[in-house]
Amino acid sequence: MKAYRKKKKYLQTESIVLKVFDFGEADRIFTLLTPDNGIIRAVAKGVRKPKSRMGGHIDVLSKVNIYISLGENLSNISQAEIINNYSILKKDLSLISISFYILELCEKFSVENDPNNDIYYHLSYTLDILQENLQNPLLIRWFEINLLTVSGFLPELYNCLISGEELDEGDHLFSSVNGGLVDKKYATSTDSYIPIDKNSIKALRYLSNNGWPEVNKINFGSNSLEKLKIILRKYIQTITNSQINSEKFLSRIF
Amino acid sequence: MSPLNKFPFMPRALSQLVESFRLLPGIGPKTAQKLAFSTLKMPPEQVNDIANSLRNIKSEIIYCKKCQNISEVSICSICTDIDRDDSIICVVEEVMDVYVLEKSRAFKGKFHVLHGSISPANGIGPDEIRIKELISRVESDSKIKEIVIATNLNLEGEATAMYINQALNKFEKNLKITRLARGLPSGSDIEYADETTILHAMGSRVNINESL
């Protein structure tokens, strides 16, 4: 009988390193976000040793060109070359804390072998902006709302979730469970809502409809930004059904 | 399905031992089985020695009150060594790092072990590692003049170093905070070095007469 040998598959792609953890004696497992294959988890052998050729190329928060041999259980990284090291971000603790947060969000919203490349390009674009617009809290909110958009989780911001009617220009309620705004008069006592004022609603709509160059010109006010932070974090927690670990460190540093 | 289910007639004591070995890092089901069968073949005295060593590691090993390194007494042998320099403290992530630095004989000061690094994505912040102990040690000990931060050279190690630097800079004490130099490893070819390493090696270049 002829021996069946499975063809080994190779993949060369650009990727952003989202997460890493030590594995075995001197190996590391990297969680990589790619444009065409979603998330890939792959092991880099011997990467923790000082003489590893890959060690300096591959780390969290790096855009790398990667060569992977795909395995059934775990893929192997055979080569890595830096495309962008985001060295400006890595020199500042506040920027590192923001980066950890947005990388974790991308990991939570991405799936393996997903050809949808919007999350990848949104992350890549945001990291580039972050290098120029240092420490701008508005950028985090813009990133969050657009991540929700590209993942298909944009909350309903124009019509009441219960009645379906168009919302008037006033204060309303936000339902993180149902994902959107609810008119006060239709609110049920069983659901928990977050009250949201009209300025914060306008800010949320503006952030979801505009690119960063337009958003960056607007001053939304600290109250609205704080409100958006509470609402978006609650909504993201509900969707992902988990705590965002980096949030604690971000709040402490930034 | 667990591979252990392939051996339904394995005695309970043996399968429990296999499961126990599997708890160790880097040990898969096959290796765990091999270790368990090797243990079975050992003379009873050797097995007792292993069992005692395992028991003792939890009952006899404590953390040094000063440097947080593992020790059998409340203040470890490195902290009580009068021949070592009290004014310089090397901050490392893990106990293993102390042994590596000690083996090199390149450092004659004292240590502080953090027992990890800041890793926000894994829920490890400054409170989860022993940074507070380092800060209170520096605050209370006037002999300390320099802190050498020797955390790993990855993003988590860098974030930890930056956080310690920020926290220690708040003191009005004239404290020197340094970071281990980084660059090309001994015996390596420049041809294979990455951009980041070259950048750091260039930035930390030294006068040829001062180099070791």
For residue range B100-141, list pLDDT tens digits in order.
999 999 999 999 999 999 999 888 999 999 999 999 999 999
The string of DSSP letters for A70-96 reads E-SS-EEEEEEEEEE--TTGGG-HHHH
| Cα B173 to Cα B168: distance, rounded to the nearest angstrom | 9
CB B91 within 8 A of CB B136: no
Mutate to test the interface with A, among B194, B199, B200 (most CBs of A within 10 A): B194
A180 in a domain, yes or no?
A: yes
Residue with tokens 């813009």: A142
Distance (Å) from the alpha carbon of B25 to chain A's nearest alpha carbon = 7
Residues A125 and A226 in one domain: yes
For residue B188, the surrounding DSSP H or E stretch is none
Q: A14 at the B interface (CB within 8 A)?
A: no
Instruction: Categorize the per-residue pLDDT at B10 as very low, low, confident or very high, splitting at 50, 70 and 90.
Output: confident
Which structure tokens are listed for A5? 């040998």
A42 in a domain, yes or no?
A: yes
The residue in chain A having the minimum alpha-carbon distance to the alpha carbon of residue B160 is: A93
Cβ contacts (< 8 Å) between B121 and chain A: which residues? 19, 60, 100, 103-104, 107, 245-246
Amino acid at B177: I
A4 in a domain, yes or no?
A: no
Q: Quick one: A35 exposed, middle or buried, by C-beta within 10 A (0-12, 13-18, 19+)?
A: middle
Per-residue pLDDT in tens (0 to 9) along chain A, 254 residues: 455 555 558 899 999 999 998 887 889 999 999 999 999 999 999 888 887 878 878 899 999 999 999 887 789 999 998 899 998 999 999 999 999 999 999 999 998 888 878 999 999 999 999 998 767 889 999 999 999 999 999 999 999 998 899 999 889 999 999 999 999 888 877 678 999 999 999 999 999 999 999 999 988 888 999 999 999 999 999 999 999 999 999 998 87
Choice between B45 and A4, residue whose per-residue pLDDT is larger: B45
The residue in chain A having the minimum alpha-carbon distance to the alpha carbon of residue B193 is: A53
CB distance B195–A82 less than 8 Å? Answer: yes
pTM of the model: 0.87
Domain at B103, CATH number: 3.40.1360.10
Last residue of a domain, one of A31, A53, A84: A84
Structural domain containing residue B34: 3-59
The residue length of chain A stands at 254
Residues A43 and A111 in one domain: no
Residues B18 and B91 in one domain: no
Cβ contacts (< 8 Å) between B160 and chain A: which residues? none
Amino acid at A1: M
CB distance A25–B125 less than 8 Å? Answer: no
The residue in chain B having the minimum alpha-carbon distance to the alpha carbon of residue A24 is: B26
A179 in a domain, yes or no?
A: yes
Structural domain containing residue A161: 89-253
Which structure tokens are listed for A179? 């994902």
Listed by number, the residues of chain B in 131-190 with a beta carbon closer than 8 Å to a beta carbon of chain A are 154-156, 158-159, 162-163, 166, 185, 187-188
B174 in a domain, yes or no?
A: yes
pLDDT greater than 80 at residue B2: no
**How many domains does chain B divide into?**
2
**What beta strand segments (E) does chain A contain?**
9-23, 27-34, 38-44, 63-70, 75-84, 172-175, 180-182, 194-196
Residues B25 and B98 in one domain: no
A1 in a domain, yes or no?
A: no
| Cα A214 to Cα A122: distance, rounded to the nearest angstrom | 16
Question: For position A129, what pLDDT does the model report?
Answer: 94
Residues A67 and A132 in one domain: no
Residues B90 and B175 in one domain: yes
Nearest neighbour of A93 by CB, restricted to B125, B159, B185: B159
Residues A76 and A119 in one domain: no
| Cα A89 to Cα A112: distance, rounded to the nearest angstrom | 27
Instruction: Categorize the per-residue pLDDT at B212 as very low, low, confident or very high, splitting at 50, 70 and 90.
Output: low
Residues B92 and B39 in one domain: no
pLDDT greater than 80 at residue B150: yes
Q: A193 at the B interface (CB within 8 A)?
A: no
ipTM of the complex: 0.87
Last residue of a domain, one of A67, A84, A101: A84
CB A57 within 8 A of CB A81: yes
Which structure tokens are listed for B41? 């073949």
pLDDT greater than 60 at residue B1: no
A2 in a domain, yes or no?
A: no
CB A23 within 8 A of CB A29: yes
Nearest neighbour of B155 by CB, restricted to A90, A104, A253: A90
B186 in a domain, yes or no?
A: no
CB distance A104–B195 less than 8 Å? Answer: no
Mutate to test the interface with B, among A28, A106, A246 (most CBs of B within 10 A): A246
Residues A71 and A94 in one domain: no
Last residue of a domain, one of A39, A58, A84: A84
B69 in a domain, yes or no?
A: no
Nearest neighbour of A248 by CB, restricted to B125, B188, B194: B125
Percent of chain B with pLDDT over 90: 68
The residue in chain B having the minimum alpha-carbon distance to the alpha carbon of residue A89 is: B155
| Cα A213 to Cα B167: distance, rounded to the nearest angstrom | 36
Choice between B10 and A129, residue whose per-residue pLDDT is larger: A129
Residues A61 and A118 in one domain: no
Angle at A227 between CA A222 and CA A231, to 5 degrees: 150
Residue with tokens 């106990």: B95
**How many domains does chain A divide into?**
2
Tell me the C-alpha to C-alpha distance, in Å, between residue A13 and each of A69, A81, A151.
11, 11, 22
Instruction: Categorize the per-residue pLDDT at B4 as very low, low, confident or very high, splitting at 50, 70 and 90.
Output: very low
Percent of chain B with pLDDT over 70: 95
B13 in a domain, yes or no?
A: yes
Contacts of A86 (CB under 8 A, 6+ apart): A61, A62, A63, A99, A127, A131
Instruction: Categorize the per-residue pLDDT at B173 as very low, low, confident or very high, splitting at 50, 70 and 90.
Output: confident
Residues B172 and B93 in one domain: yes
Tell me the C-alpha to C-alpha distance, in Å, between residue B66 and each of A122, B27, B70, B76, B135.
47, 34, 11, 8, 11
| Cα B90 to Cα B109: distance, rounded to the nearest angstrom | 7
Question: For position A7, what pLDDT does the model report?
Answer: 58
